[in-house]
Structure 1
Amino acid sequence: MRKLHLGPGLGELDDGTDPAMSVGVATERATGTDLRLSGLVHPDGTPVEQARHVFETVADVVVNDLGGATGDVTMLRFYVRSDRLTDALRRELHAVRREFFDAPEFPAATMVGVDELVHDDAAVEIEAAAFVPDGEWTVETVRPD
């Protein structure tokens, strides 16, 4: 089996230190590739612009680096600075998510407010997980009664 470390040692913390991590790790499985991306930030712009840039990065890794599709993303975790997290921002972040993922097959997602993020100028940090299958998905949607 193969394990691929994406961007080991890339970036630095605000204090200039190396975070001793990979941007992501992709592992081969029997039927495809499992991907875990570390919390990604883009500290420039509004929270919506930051999220859009992170989604572009996630899409780039899944599509260009692993040969998958954005529909292969299975989980998103949003960490949003509590002092910026409003109902309006939450709706805007959901709208940005819709730009990258097709209804009704959205990835599972969690959004939590946090006191701080590692980068002072970042308002949003997003973790992502994906599974890129060797073949095609058989997709079903189940709606609760």
Structure 2
Amino acid sequence: MNRNVINPQDLFVGKAFSQTVAVEGAARWIFVSGQIDCDAQGKVRNPGDLAAQVRGTLDNLVIALAAQGATMADLVKVNVYIVDLDPSQTAAIRDIRAEYFDAEQPPAVTLVGIDRLSMDGLLVEIEAVAAR
């Protein structure tokens, strides 16, 4: 499988995301449902703590990908939903993502502020697409 990441000169080049990702010859596409920071019993682990929830959610994404034989390096598209997103939080969220994503070829990423999620105390949900 070939993954071609291009960040056009006329677009902003950010940390922990790519502007475009093309995949050729992928044997498998893996679609991961929105992950949240909860334990196996469905209990929110870090209610109200955005940084801890971003990490916990990404940890759960690692587990979900591993179940399909994939890793974070296989990600091609990620959507991040944050409750009551304040633009001042963006850099911290991006820095945490950078700890998990491939530094050379990070996935395409969308960050969206929303009103609420499915459970009280949740501040972040992350869905993803991977290719292997």
In percent, how many aligned pairs have the same letter? 27
Residue 123 of structure 2 corresponds to 123
Q: Is contact 1:44–1:121 with CA below 8 Å preserved after alignment?
A: no
Quick check: which has more Rg, 1 or 2? 1
Residue 53 of structure 2 corresponds to 50
Residue 75 of structure 1 corresponds to 77
Structure 1: 5+ residue runs without aligned partners?
1-29, 133-145
Structure 2: 5+ residue runs without aligned partners?
1-24, 38-43
Taking structure 2 as the reference length, the TM-score comes to 0.68
Residue 34 of structure 1 corresponds to 29
Q: Is contact 1:44–1:122 with CA below 8 Å preserved after alignment?
A: no
Aligned counterparts of 1:38 and 1:69: Cα–Cα separation in 2: 15
- Superposed, 1:130-145 pairs within 5 Å as 130-132=130-132
Taking structure 1 as the reference length, the TM-score comes to 0.62
- Superposed, 1:55-70 pairs within 5 Å as 55-62=58-65, 64-70=66-72
Aligned counterparts of 2:100 and 2:52: Cα–Cα separation in 1: 14
Aligned counterparts of 1:32 and 1:129: Cα–Cα separation in 2: 14
Residue 6 of structure 1 corresponds to none
Alignment size in residue pairs: 100
Q: Is contact 2:83–2:114 with CA below 8 Å preserved after alignment?
A: yes
Amino acid at match of 1:56: D
RMSD in angstroms over aligned alpha carbons? 1.7
